[in-house]
Structure 1
């Protein structure tokens, strides 16, 4: 169990995905030989279905309930839409979060995002009130409503009034340069606003919203983990990523 490990990692998948997505399996392989790490692929109560409207803040509550089952701090690793709750938790529950690894975070969006599902999807949503979000490989579908999307946008950390986002733990964000679902510039603006002194933003060349964690990304992730390990020492050392 995680309570016996020094570093607890919770991986949170994005909308339309699942605990068996490529990022989940690649991260598990990366960490399986690291004896001081407990890695968990997190299963939400509603990972997605066409019978129940999705709500990002239900995902946030699920994650908070999981990390509150121990007295330990956690490293949150998240893809796409799951970065929304991860960022909010890192801001509002600082005592529980020792680091963030964000992959193509779904932040800084507006309702036009719906048209990335398929052309005309936003117009359909406005007329019908609901739209089906298709699953990716090994993923869960999702039912989206106008209200759930408005809540997603209204609670997006990038829409807070403060210019500086009060997240102080080490943060690594990676984003594909050719991403047409969430523009890479959104992550660049996000990282500029995050207060942490230990942060790195890596633009992955020649990939879109769906990418593998290659050697470059894993090297940067290894450096993030080293920073977090240093921060857990009594001396509270902190070096730049």
Structure 2
């Protein structure tokens, strides 16, 4: 569908303070490649309504035009997440990171360095590799074709959009694959409790991504939940309530520890 016509404010950084007993529990929600904060807002609003302090950043290169994503270096994405974490740490004693797709890969990247400070991570159809496409191959391909067909809005529910790009910037993909390769080699450094949701019918990422992450992370506590009625952008799909409700239980459980 693209970003044109998106409701006002939906493609920008968004934050809301919590209330009550959950006010000092912070949750940072990270969208996917070519996506936008729109894919995470309903989840963030659900948690905020239950008292949690939430932040939903717009990742660099997103929310404007696809060409901008070809100008970003991969380090900018985790840097943005870490800046948002710093804001949450100012008022929150417990902090969790949630990531969708590439946002899951970015969450894992940050968790390799912050496992001693955050209380848990929640991943939805997370990305850690593209089978048989190395960063080197992606670099070569990106020199011949700057844009490819969009993979966005892989949603089973009709009429729903994540308000992402309608094209796939290939130089950005090269940067993404560098980040994922770096992160995959360090998954053992992720030691926080992890909850992972996986759509059985995902047209964007194969199940190998989930399997690599489940096997590779160093977390002692790791839970995998299958989603049977959603495609890739499950946070906006039929199984969204399963994600929201189970994540709330996970957060409450590990915030109490």
* TM-score (structure 2 length as normaliser): 0.71
Count matched residues.
Answer: 217
* Counterpart residue number, 2:30: 12
The runs of 5 or more residues in structure 1 that have no matched partner are 114-121, 232-241
State the distance in 2 between where 1:151 and 1:161 align: 16
Deviations 1:151-186 (A, max 9, x none): 322331686446x62212111110111113111232
Answer yes or no: is the 8 Å Cα contact 1:174–1:204 preserved in 2. Answer: yes
* Counterpart residue number, 2:170: 145
State the distance in 2 between where 1:179 and 1:143 align: 18
Deviations 1:84-108 (A, max 9, x none): 1110111112243221111110113
Aligned CA-pair RMSD: 3.0
Answer yes or no: is the 8 Å Cα contact 1:28–1:39 preserved in 2. Answer: yes
The runs of 5 or more residues in structure 2 that have no matched partner are 1-15, 154-160
SS in 2 for 1:31: helix
- Cα distance 1:131–1:125, how it changes in 2: closer, same or farther (>3 A)? farther
Deviations 1:193-241 (A, max 9, x none): 212122101121243213324443334213311222222xxxxxxxxxx
* Counterpart residue number, 1:239: none
SS in 1 for 2:38: coil
Q: Which one of the candidate residues 80, 86, 103 is aligned to 1:62?
A: 80
* TM-score (structure 1 length as normaliser): 0.76
Answer yes or no: is the 8 Å Cα contact 1:98–1:170 preserved in 2. Answer: yes
1:218 aligns with 2:241: no
